[in-house]
A and B are shown apart, each in its own frame.
Chain A
Amino acid sequence: MKMNNKIVGVLFLSVLMSCAPGAKPKHPKPGSESHLPPVLSPIDLETPERTAANQVIAEGRVQLEQGNYARASDLFQEAVTLDPTNGAGYYYLAAAKAQLGETGESTGLLEKAEQLLASDPAWQVQLDELKLKLTEHQPSPRD
């Protein structure tokens, strides 16, 4: 049973990793009107914090792929602490937490990720997919 869960988990992650956009996706700016307040879109940020956080996310994705969920989770947490508007960081943190069996925390994080990434259609697909997978599979805690 545990083995089955592991296989499902790995398959699920490989699908996620192959489909999910990179930590810094290119996308059109969300629809805006000229009279809206001049605010920055969190996805488009090009700040030193974003660059550093994306580097941490890249390291975390490697760990996630290798099944080191705890290490990956620590790295993604570090990334969102460094750059709290990094939607990709929250997305991957939610994915790692789900693998660790922390589905409650994962759901909250996914909500935050959605808030920051929803304006990007590519990300939205991935967010929906992760949400669906979360409800379909309840992986057992490991690592």
Chain B
Amino acid sequence: MPKKKKLKRQRRLPLVVGAGFFLGIFIFYVFSLNYKIHAKFESHRWNLPSRVYSDSFSLYPGQTLTPQQLEKRLERLHYKRVTGEAHGVGEFVQEAHEFQVYLHDFSYPSEEFVGFPVRITFQDRTIGELQRMDHAETLKRIKLEPELIASIFDEKMEDRTLVSLSEVPPTLIKGVVALEDERFYEHKGVDPRALVRALLTDVIHFRYMQGGSTLTQQLVKNYFLHSRKTLLRKMNEILMALLLERQYSKNEILEAYFNEIYFGQRGPVSVTGIQEASTLYFSKNVSQLTVGEAALLAGMIRSPGEYSPLNNLERAYDRRNFVLKTMLEQDKLTEPEYQAARQEKIVTPKHFEEAHRAAFFVDYVQQELKRQYPPEVLQSEGIKIFTPLDMDAQEAAEQAVSSRLKALEAGRGLLKEQAAHGKLLEGLLLAIQPQSGFIRAFVGGRDFVRSQFDRIVDAHRQPGSTFKPFVYLTALQVGAEAKEGEERWTLVSPIEDKAFSVPGPNGVWSPQNYDKQEHGTVTLRQALENSYNLATSKLAQQVGLDTIVTTARKLGIESPLEAYPAIALGIFEVTPLELIRAYSVFPNQGIRSEPVAITSVVTREGMVLERKGIKMNRAISPDLAYLMNEALRGVVDRGTGAVARTLGYTGLAAGKTGTTSDYRDSWFVGYTPDLLALSWVGYDDGTTTGLSGSSGALPIWVDFMKQTNPPGASRVDFPATENIVLEKIAKSGGGLYRDSCGEPFEEVFLRGTEPTEYCTHENE
């Protein structure tokens, strides 16, 4: 007997050992799953994309703005067009001369703005009145929130904004529970009843139809596992759901579920989480959803593409009504609530193709942030980056560059031929507000997808004649500081536009004019307006090449410069960014503004990490800036920039064209008192284009300015100073004008430098 028992025991032993072994493995496996849950759920749950925003947009009575411009901006901000009255957040009503807009909430770096309804009336092309509709209060100003320019994603490309469960409306929670997991609050992560029901359905239909997954299982599947249907995944899903429920409360699980769930695609980007879905489909915060909207979102979870109101409105209505009916049947809605929700219209905002918006600018912003915020931080921490970009100006700039380059290639043989061989002309446009340095438009190339090379920041090109104003500024400065017996340079000082040679670093240097002609004795103004190379080079020799380098440095040119004779004609390469910074001193009355691409960096919780405000310092006197403004105005009115007038730009403007040797670069830097813009056209490899500054770059500038700074938009002139005097000068020979001296013209002078003697050339 004992022998038999022993034998039995011996037979059982392998089984026991085997079972123990497998039990051990199972326990180890469960522990490893538990560790996985703990590690991932307790730490950084999701990578949140950082977001880059444009500037906000102020509206105020008297502002020049058309209803069309406002409409466009509201649509870009995803306001929803409705009829009757704007009752809900993010809605707008447009009538002939009136808008009703229910402003969105927005978290500014130092302000939590809560939206309210406002009535905006128009009088012709200006805003007449702003009225707060809920308080019957007349307002002096309102702000439209900044536009989202881009999100910086990790490789998963998931757009997500986290919400807490307290922000999710109870109706939405009830709707999701009613539809996805009726017994959510009763089970422990897995619902055996639902599993059996699903299994039966699958067997009856002889194919996989239902998974019987609880919300917890869905969360586990989406968050920890994958969507492939395998037995192992299902087993892991069940085990992990049970483990998750042991450690976390129902509310924690539900909150994670609402933040994790997938709600469809926006181009290459996955829309995930309930907040992102609310924004995409209804242009509002999740807490602001109506019962009907909440029901539709709850219904979309099963199949976001199929039930999306953006794809098929009718199907979306059916789905929403089905959810509402289910909720009514489960006593999660009262009959009146159900009836009211069924009556709601589904209104979605207009959506645009948003890929690569202001792509060069966004890239530049990332480069600027790189040192303090590496890419992995930007892709995961949900940082908000505020910029001064004006999206209207940006769109106008992109359009101007694109359409003018196309037109040039279509109309010019040489360029057409190059394009036919796949070599496309490049262009750029950069615009800043000169007083603040705020970058308003930034187009670093023709097509970001084709070439990501940022020509604004990284291209070093010869500036050609756009450098000349620095020579004339130097002369005027030397003139202002001249002592007794020294040359007191003014805009009417004579200079020889005649061929000459000087020793240069590579031998003798002999400049030439663009038209290969000499123009004799001309005034400084004439030489600058007509961009005479001979006169400018001669002037540079006379005022001193070192002094010109010093002036350029003061204005912010940081690229290498040498005191060579040809410096006057812009042979030393600079970047467009430093060139525009240097020009900012003219409209900004002698004060140099640093270009600003980022105004604030804020954490997702709203803590300001840094502010990058206006930075300025004096470079030249306001008197000299005024003289230069007047001279550069002449370039646009009469000189090489007069094409701007031919092309129909009639507003106050000053600027300078630039063309480099062999027509490699075509430049224009021009400004009004409010806006400074630089445009360039050329090939990246320096191939000749056959384009001068006025035929290549200037038309881009004109197109842009017509849109963003139309005539009359600048309400101020370039302000003069008390040290400026205006004198009537004899056109022929100079000197103060008197009746017998032929034609007069008016010229501006620094007080004390104006001519004191009358003209000597008498009328015949």
Contacts and interface: CB of A to CB of B under 8 A. Distances in A.
Given A52-B61, A52-B141, A84-B433, 7 more contacts: A35-B727, A37-B717, A38-B717, A49-B715, A81-B388, A85-B673, A85-B719
B724 interface: yes
B62 A51 contact: yes
A49 B60 CA distance: 8
Contact of B435 (A38, A80, A104, A111): A80
A41 B613 CA distance: 26
Interface in B22-69: 55-56, 58, 60-63
A136 interface: no
Interface string B585-609: 0001111000000010000000010
A108 B727 contact: no
Interface string A75-113: 001101110110000000100010010101101110110
Interface stretch (A7-15, A66-74, A123-131): A66-74
Interface in A25-51: 30-33, 35-42, 45, 47-49, 51
Nearest to B718: A39
A45 B717 CA distance: 11
A64 interface: no
Contacts of A115: 589-591, 622
A35 B615 CA distance: 35
B62 A48 contact: yes
B442 interface: no
Nearest to B618: A111
Contacts of B590: 115
Contacts of B63: 48-49, 52
A109 B436 contact: no
A40 B714 CA distance: 12
A110 B622 CA distance: 15
Interface stretch (B107-115, B284-292, B687-695): B107-115
A65 to B, nearest CB: 16
B306 to A, nearest CB: 45
A80 B126 CA distance: 21
Contact of B591 (A30, A93, A112): A112
Contacts of B435: 80, 84-85, 112
A56 interface: yes
B647 interface: no
Contacts, number: 124
B205 to A, nearest CB: 61
The B interface is mostly helix, strand or loop, or mixed, namely loop
The A interface is mostly helix, strand or loop, or mixed, namely helix
A67 B111 CA distance: 15
A107 B588 CA distance: 16
Contact of A36 (B599, B608, B724): B724
Contacts of A37: 717, 720, 724, 726, 748
A40 B109 contact: no
Report, nearest first, the 6 A-B pairs whose CB atoms are least far apart.
A48-B62, A52-B60, A84-B435, A108-B616, A71-B110, A55-B140
Nearest to A33: B725
Contacts of A52: 58, 60-61, 63, 140-141
B61 A48 contact: yes
B186 interface: no
B716 interface: yes
A22 to B, nearest CB: 15
Contact of A51 (B60, B617, B674): B60
Given A31-B722, A51-B140, A111-B616, A84 B436 contact: yes
Interface string B164-201: 00000000000000000000000000000000000000
Nearest to A71: B110
Contacts of A31: 722
Interface residues of B, number: 48
A37 B617 CA distance: 26
Contacts of B599: 77
A99 to B, nearest CB: 13
A35 B60 contact: no
B591 A105 contact: no
Contacts of B126: 48
Contacts of B591: 108, 111-112, 115
B438 interface: yes
A115 to B, nearest CB: 6
Given A70-B611, A81-B388, A111-B618, A40 B716 contact: yes
A121 to B, nearest CB: 14
Given A55-B140, A81-B438, A73 B716 contact: no
A105 B62 contact: no
B130 to A, nearest CB: 10
B457 interface: no
A78 to B, nearest CB: 7
A112 B60 contact: no
A30 B673 CA distance: 20
B109 A74 contact: yes
A82 B109 CA distance: 18
A32 B438 CA distance: 33
A48 B388 CA distance: 21
A74 B599 CA distance: 9
Given A37-B726, A81-B436, A105-B615, A42 B58 contact: no
A31, A33, A100 pick with most chain B CB within 10 angstroms: A33
Given A74-B108, A82-B58, A36 B725 contact: yes
Contacts of B611: 70, 73, 100
A42 B716 contact: yes
Nearest to A45: B716
17 contacts: A35-B725, A35-B727, A39-B716, A39-B718, A40-B716, A40-B719, A47-B716, A48-B63, A71-B111, A84-B435, A85-B673, A85-B716, A93-B613, A105-B613, A108-B618, A112-B591, A115-B591
A102 B611 CA distance: 10
Interface string B364-401: 00000000000000000000000010000000000000
A35 B727 CA distance: 7
